[in-house]
């Protein structure tokens, strides 16, 4: 007998539960399906929210050839074989065959490269499914040819609708007189994952004695579900979207100067088995991005914590991570350096490759000297205070400002020094 999750897999959009922002009346995927014309896209969301099911429903609704590949087991040759089959099954002016790739984030660069031509030429319509952020895992040329649609964990109302439906409709669960007396644990363990919910209900079915099945009543309570599962209801899915949600909460707690919040999210990651090197890297980034010049020691401490974790490992590595987390959260904050580099990069993109002023160029050859390279450059250390005013930006940008000191003790000192050197230029 198939598992409950497979037996109750929706076959039509009317049976599909959740994701109304994509498939509800007037929503983007519903409009594409109704028009019988879809373009390539990637479905990004946590496990068990209907990515594979939705792709299958779309192919059925459009009545086109449907090919599936798993990024875990398929190679470049498999991709090319499917593309050749799609070419043979493509009809003029008809919707292209659909190629569904599960876990597309696991495809290597060469595997993703092999898809580009077929997607761009319309040989196949690509539907990818991923639990990881596509902007990190999918190559830019392929990503630019696909829309990305975000699938959300199922809401409590969705889970209730699903549970009630399968209890009434599944051929096996109907054997039991199931009453959902309590659903808190059921939905908490499910974590917005339809597959987990159905697996739990399957376990409930398998766990009841024949006597109950023959006429007794099956009452689902929080205690029953917890006893059957015997696991942490706050389990951390380090391989899914929760990986990004938890680290986001962690960093935002540090940025928001809440050491209690930051320590809590750190504990969630530690208990969930997160890679300590990943946590340590995020601390180093936060020290630069969010604390920055307000407390330059933060970067030193974050780096030291990183080194310590790599040297001593678990479980003691949690201690330097906790020390760095509390220190960063409790430190004064400044993102002036972060803003400065972003502004400068944006200006570079807008203004193009501005020439380096001649006096800032090296002149290793006689010809360069004749062309004026290095001519007029003033060596700062030859002047009082190791400073002399001269132009360091390209001519077209010589009046631009990128770094703006923010009001904190450390940057106030830097601002005083800059005003001493440059006068009113930094008096803002």
pLDDT tens digits along 46-59: 888 889 999 989 88
Regions of the chain where pLDDT drops below 50: 211-214, 232-241
pLDDT (0 to 100) of residue 93 = 57
Task: Tell me which of 126, 150, 174 is where a domain ends.
Answer: 150
Report if residue 346 sits inside a domain: no
Quick one: 165 and 125 in the same domain?
A: no
181 lies in some domain: yes
- Give the whole-angstrom CA distance, residue 112 versus residue 76: 8
CATH number of the domain that 185 lies in? 1.10.8.60
Residue 173 lies in a domain: yes
Domain of 23? Answer: 19-150
For residue 247, what is the domain's CATH number? 1.20.272.10
Looking at residue 391, its pLDDT comes to 85
> Angle between the 28-35 and 51-62 helix axes, to the nearest 10 degrees?
30
3-state DSSP assignment of residue 232: coil
Task: Tell me which of 194, 229, 264 is where a domain ends.
Answer: 229
> C-alpha angle 162/166/170, rounded to 5°?
160
Can you say how many angstroms the Cα of residue 250 is from the centroid of all Cα atoms in its chain?
14
Q: Would residue 9 count as lying in a domain?
A: no
Position 235 scores a pLDDT of 45
pLDDT, tens digit (0-9, with 9 covering 90-100), for 266-324: 988 887 777 888 899 899 999 999 998 988 999 999 999 999 988 888 788 889 999 99
Judge if 218 and 253 occupy the same domain: no
User: Are 47 and 99 in the same domain?
Assistant: yes
Residue 284: predicted pLDDT:
92
| Domain shared by 214 and 191, yes or no | yes
Residue 1 pLDDT? 62
Q: Looking at the structure, do residues 27 and 124 belong to the same domain, yes or no? A: yes
Q: Give dist(CA 293, CA 283) in Å, integer.
A: 15
pLDDT value at residue 306:
92
**23 plus 107 within the same structural domain:** yes
At 283 the pLDDT is 94
Q: Is residue 44 located within the same domain as residue 117?
A: yes
**Based on the domain organization, do 29 and 137 belong to the same domain?**
yes
Residue 138 included in any domain: yes
Q: With respect to residue 81, please indicate whether it lies within any of the assigned structural domains.
A: yes
DSSP string for 323-372: HHHHHHHHS----HHHHHHHHHHHHHHHH--PPPPGGGS---SHHHHHTT
Residue 363 shares a structural domain with residue 387: yes
Total tally of structural domains belonging to the chain: 4
In this structure, the answer to whether residues 301 and 405 fall within a common structural domain is no
Residue ending a domain, among 121, 150, 179, is: 150
Distances from the Cα of 212 to the Cα of 44, 207, 287, angstroms:
41, 10, 59
* Assessment of whether the complete model's pTM goes beyond 0.75: no
pLDDT in tens, 166-196: 888 887 887 777 888 888 888 888 878 888 8
Confidence (pLDDT) at 366: 80
My answer on whether 111 and 218 are in the same domain is no
CA dihedral 171, 173, 177, 180 (to 10 degrees): -140
Domain contains 384:
yes
- Is there a domain that residue 336 lies in? no
Q: Which residues contact 304 (CB under 8 A, 6 or more apart)?
A: 320, 324
Same-domain pairing of 163 and 49: no
Contact 27, 18 (CB under 8 A): no
Q: What is the biggest distance separating any 2 CA atoms in the chain, rounded to whole angstroms?
A: 102
């Amino acid at each position: 007998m198939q598992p409950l999750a497979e037996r109750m897999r929706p076959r039509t959009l009317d049976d599909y539960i959740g994701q109304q922002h994509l498939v509800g009346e007037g929503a983007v995927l519903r409009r594409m399906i109704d028009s019988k014309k879809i373009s390539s896209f990637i479905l990004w969301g946590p496990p068990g929210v209907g990515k594979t099911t939705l792709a299958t429903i779309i192919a059925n609704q459009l009545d086109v050839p449907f090919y599936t590949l798993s990024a875990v087991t398929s190679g470049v040759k498999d991709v090319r074989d499917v593309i050749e089959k799609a070419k043979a099954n493509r009809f003029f002016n008809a919707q292209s065959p659909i190629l569904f790739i599960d876990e597309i984030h696991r495809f290597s660069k060469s595997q993703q490269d092999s898809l580009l031509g077929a997607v761009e030429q319309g040989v196949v319509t690509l539907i990818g499914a991923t639990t990881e952020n596509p902007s990190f895992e999918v190559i830019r040329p392929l990503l630019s040819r696909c829309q990305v649609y975000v699938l959300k964990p199922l809401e409590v109302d969705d889970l209730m609708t699903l549970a009630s439906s399968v209890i009434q409709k599944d051929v096996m669960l109907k054997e039991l007189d199931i009453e959902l007396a309590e659903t808190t644990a059921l939905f908490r363990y499910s974590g917005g994952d339809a597959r987990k919910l159905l697996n739990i209900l399957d376990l409930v079915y398998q766990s009841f004695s024949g006597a109950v099945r023959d006429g007794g009543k099956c009452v689902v309570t929080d205690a029953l579900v917890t006893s059957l599962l015997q696991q942490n209801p706050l389990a951390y899915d380090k391989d899914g979207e929760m990986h990004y949600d938890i680290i986001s909460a962690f960093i935002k707690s540090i940025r928001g100067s809440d050491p209690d919040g930051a320590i809590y999210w750190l504990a969630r990651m530690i208990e969930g088995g997160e890679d300590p090197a990943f946590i340590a890297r995020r601390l180093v980034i936060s020290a630069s991005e969010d604390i920055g010049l307000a407390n330059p020691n933060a970067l030193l401490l974050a780096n030291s914590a990183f080194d310590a974790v790599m040297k001593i490992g678990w479980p003691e590595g949690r201690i330097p991570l906790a020390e760095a987390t509390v220190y960063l959260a409790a430190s004064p904050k400044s993102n002036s350096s972060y803003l400065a580099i972003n502004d400068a990069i944006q200006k570079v993109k807008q203004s193009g490759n501005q020439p380096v002023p001649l006096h800032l160029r090296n002149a290793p050859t006689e010809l360069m000297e004749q062309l004026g390279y290095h001519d007029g450059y003033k060596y700062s250390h030859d002047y009082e205070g190791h400073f002399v005013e001269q132009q360091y930006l390209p001519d077209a940008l010589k009046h631009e400002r990128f770094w703006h000191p923010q009001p904190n003790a450390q940057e106030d000192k830097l601002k005083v020094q800059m005003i001493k050197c440059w006068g009113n230029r930094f008096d803002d």
